[in-house]
Structure 1
Amino acid sequence: MARRTQGGFLKLFWIFLVLGALALIPVWLGYKLLTVLEGVFISWGPSTASLFTWLVNAPNEELLKWLVFVGGTKALTSLKKPVDGWWQGAFLGLGYGLAENVFYIGQVGLGVFALRFVTAVPGHIFYGAVWGGYYGWEVFQGKGKVRRWTPVLLALFVTIVFHAAYNSALTWPLGVVWAVLIEAIAGALALTLGWFLAKNSHK
């Protein structure tokens, strides 16, 4: 029984890892559609250019990753325990982060790849764990359907804020230090949520 459970867990790991990598496609298409807005923000001046990160960039990535996650969990009916959404969201975030990093190698080189590997990739894992965890919890509480949408949408909003703050931090003095601090806070939130969900999965 334990071996069967481990096999199912590993299977879901690979499925959501691949889904995360594939999520790069709709995110990229979303950027292409929204590129015109970047020019609008930049035309308003340097002080408003960062608004693109907060109002377009981060929301586009987190929302589309989340939609791929929701579609995957529905197709697989994979949310059985409170902690399942946490794990599956984290797996999807890992797949997305790795695929995005490979994409960046061709554009900015190995130096940025190394920096992103220790900051952005964990960040995507943490974001996925947070919105995936809250979604999975509400689906569990609703016996297969989302019981309350407010916590789910708030979790999604919080990850958008963390994502936008991380992107913005890289443009500040000592930006790498700030970026690491932001991701550490996101990680603490994700791990605390994971502990709570795991605890309730064994009741």
Structure 2
Amino acid sequence: MPRRTEGMSFRPAGSEGFRPAGGLLGLAGAALIALAGCAVPEGPAAPSTRAPAEAVLARLPAQAAGFDRFGVQDVAPEDPGAGKVVEYATARRVAVAQVFLYDLGRPAVEPADLGPEAERAVSEATALPFDRTGRQLAVASRSPLAVPGGDLSCALLTGTFGRNQVERQVCVGVVAGRFLRVQVTMPRRGAPVADARAFTQEVAAAARRG
């Protein structure tokens, strides 16, 4: 968050040891009292001007890079900081994607917050679900993804879901004072069934329009 600059006092050169003479001292004191009475008290900090989450999600396209958009859901209804998620999928749900918009309860997310959050997103994506076995994912590569308004930090994960080879791309960026996380999962076989990077670029660019 921007930090308010503290007030700074200025003393002219050679002012050390300077004392106003009797009458001037009284006039100066009266003037200071009058000015103090006219001072305007400092109000509270201005509220955040970021767009509502619903308005940002409304910018997401109905279709992007072969994916169709579905509904919006709360990630955790009891935790507003967890944000909302929009699901996308290709025909027959061969590839699926989730677009998360969240702030972790912060009044405004800054670009400097991106690095730690990208690491947290990768850690969550590679964690094994407690209720499922036979799943494993590991980081295969990392790379930035160029999007107008600032790069996204992306990681490509590869592994298995049971007997199926899969890949998952996880990208995180900052949009309208919140984190935007785009996660795309698809089978890993021969030719790619979808272009995860093109999809991510489309939805991130759309979210930043406003």
Q: Which has the larger radius of gyration?
A: 2
Larger strand share, 1 or 2: 2
Task: Give yes or no for TM over 0.5.
Answer: no
Larger helix share, 1 or 2: 1
TM-score normalised over the length of structure 1: 0.30
TM-score normalised over the length of structure 2: 0.30
